[in-house]
């Protein structure tokens, strides 16, 4: 996963994790807490789920499950953009 906007030539940092409690869930909870602390209303966190060509159906279902487990109500499933595919390629995926 990564945070922010992947810009051409930028040093966007990617993180490798799994779908366990100490993996993506931990990252989602941390980010949700950060967003909730900044905003006057709760539930402002928005997660964009962007399956890659290497993803399978189980990965997508696990991602959606993590949204429910972490209480993130706003998420969307969208396609990777070419710059994001390049980002994954540079990270070795």
Mean pLDDT computed over every residue of the chain: 88
Residue 51 above 90 pLDDT? yes
pTM: 0.84
Residue 76 falls in which region: left (phi positive, over 0), alpha (psi -120 to 50) or beta: beta
**Mean pLDDT, residues 32-57 taken together:** 89
**Mean pLDDT, residues 1-19 taken together:** 77
Which is nearest to 70 in space by CA: 37, 29, 31, 35? 29
**Mean pLDDT, residues 54-81 taken together:** 95
| Confidence (pLDDT) at 20 | 85
Residue 9 above 70 pLDDT? no
Q: Which residue has the tokens 């402002």?
A: 44
**Mean pLDDT, residues 23-28 taken together:** 94
Domain boundaries, the chain: 24-90
Q: How confident is the model at residue 91 (pLDDT cuts 50, 70, 90)?
A: confident
């Amino acid at each position: 996963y990564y945070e922010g906007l992947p810009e051409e030539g930028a040093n966007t940092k990617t993180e490798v994790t799994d779908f366990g409690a100490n993996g993506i869930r931990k990252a989602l909870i941390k980010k949700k807490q950060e967003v909730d602390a900044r905003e006057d209303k709760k539930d402002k966190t928005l997660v964009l789920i962007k399956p890659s060509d290497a993803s399978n159906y189980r990965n997508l279902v696990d991602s959606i499950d993590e949204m429910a487990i972490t209480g993130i109500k706003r998420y969307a499933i969208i396609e990777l953009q070419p710059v994001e595919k390049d980002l994954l390629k540079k990270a070795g995926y």
